[in-house]
Amino acid sequence: MKRDAGEEEIKKSRFKNVCVFCGSSTGKRDCYSYAAVELGELLVAKKLNLVYGGGSVGLMGLVSQAVHSGGGHVLGIIPRTLMRKEITGETIGEVRPVADMHQRKAEMARHSECFIALPGGYGTLEELLEVVTWAQLGIHDKPVGLLNVDGYYNNFLNFIDKAVDDGFILPSQRQIIVSAENAKELMQKLEDYVPLHNGVVTKARRRGLSCRDSVERRGLPPHTLVSNTKY
């Protein structure tokens, strides 16, 4: 079918569900709000479902409303203790209450094929870095992208480059995070992403990683572990 002049072809995505991390505030600059709405509209155009933190305020509210208003499916996953704080007025799409933050992150990851971080604060960074770490360990092979609105994440990306230069992050692991200044460019990078690992780790090894993490948090020596899993 012939397209009208100026009409742009929307290529079918290899994803079905996109997880978006973002702030429960809109920030002080309008560009962040515009970017959230633009991302939501792009997800609708590409027929992608939104998975997010379940709030109706801040950038969370804007991106979810944009998807919902465009006819897209919205799945919000939110701890019960945050429902009064992060949901005002009517809920948007499907809201699934969970027990705590850990379950929220696990469910968001389970229902998604890729991750995008809009600007946000501590919570957004914590969610972002957890899925980055999971990719580093081979727990998943899903792409992770930063929507670097007007350079919001420049200093964060500089920090990662510094960690690579100083030997705390392998150069190959730097490629886990892709970034772009607009939603369209970022989505293309996510589509083109090649995983760091050839496959995800087995459930048995995943349990070993969880045990190691638990041991280290308690300050116990590494030989406490039966597993010989290496980072």
Phi, psi of 96 (to 5 degrees): -115, 105
Q: Which residues contact 98 (CB under 8 A, 6 or more apart)?
A: 77, 78, 79, 80, 104, 107
Residue ranges, the chain, pLDDT below 50: 1, 5-7, 202, 204, 211-212, 214-231
In angstroms, rounded to a whole number, what is the distance separating the alpha carbons of residues 27 and 225? 44
The predicted pLDDT at position 196 comes to: 75
In this predicted model, what pLDDT tens digit does every residue of 94-141 receive, in sequence order?
Answer: 999 999 999 999 999 999 999 999 999 999 999 999 999 999 999 999
> Please, what are the domains in the chain?
17-197 (3.40.50.450), 201-231 (no CATH)
pTM: 0.82
